[in-house]
């Protein structure tokens, strides 16, 4: 499996979010055959929906694609470490593997602030892989906020 290839697809989604003046986070979900079954980008502002995170949008699309709310044997690629809400959805959906680029020390719920995937009280614990295209994904966020503050 080429984690960088799929993370680059998530980066494309993140750039689309930035073009829409949303925080540049993008996500892609692949199935066991390495086919993209869902993708998404941040859009909580434009959709007036606090759950409009890239991961949530990708999960919704993937669930529709497989006609099941369980996304067993899938991998989620996301440019920024998932938050608590998104990690909750990831766990509920039974996503097998989560691969992210930049960590999020303020909101991250995979490894930074919380480690929900390690909580043995939960009935599903996805594998977590961090740091794929970390510099590039970190710069997407950093540059976005530098630009926002200069306006």
Tokens of 145: 């906020």
Q: Which of 19, 55, 81, 134 is catalytic?
A: 55
Long-range contacts of 45-48 (CB under 8 A, 24+ apart): 45/21, 46/20, 46/21, 46/22
Annotation says 55 is catalytic? yes
The length of the chain in residues reads 151
User: Which residue in 102, 120, 124 sits closest to 111, CA to CA?
Assistant: 102
Q: Check if the beta carbon of residue 128 is closer than 8 Å to that of residue 95.
A: no
The residues annotated with a catalytic role in the active site are 55
């Amino acid at each position: 499996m080429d984690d960088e290839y799929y993370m680059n697809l998530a980066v494309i989604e993140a750039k689309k979010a930035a073009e829409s003046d949303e925080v540049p986070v993008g996500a892609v979900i692949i199935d066991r055959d390495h086919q993209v079954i869902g993708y998404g980008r941040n859009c909580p502002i434009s959709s007036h929906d606090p759950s409009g995170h890239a991961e949530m949008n990708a999960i919704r699309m993937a669930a529709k694609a497989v006609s099941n709310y369980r996304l067993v044997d899938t991998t989620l690629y996301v440019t920024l470490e998932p938050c608590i809400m998104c990690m909750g959805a990831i766990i509920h959906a039974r996503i097998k593997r989560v691969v992210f680029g930049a960590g999020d020390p303020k909101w991250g719920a995979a490894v930074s602030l919380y480690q929900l995937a390690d909580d043995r009280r939960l009935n599903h614990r996805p594998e977590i892989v961090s740091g794929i295209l970390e510099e590039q994904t970190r710069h997407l966020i950093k540059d976005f906020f530098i630009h926002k503050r200069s306006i």
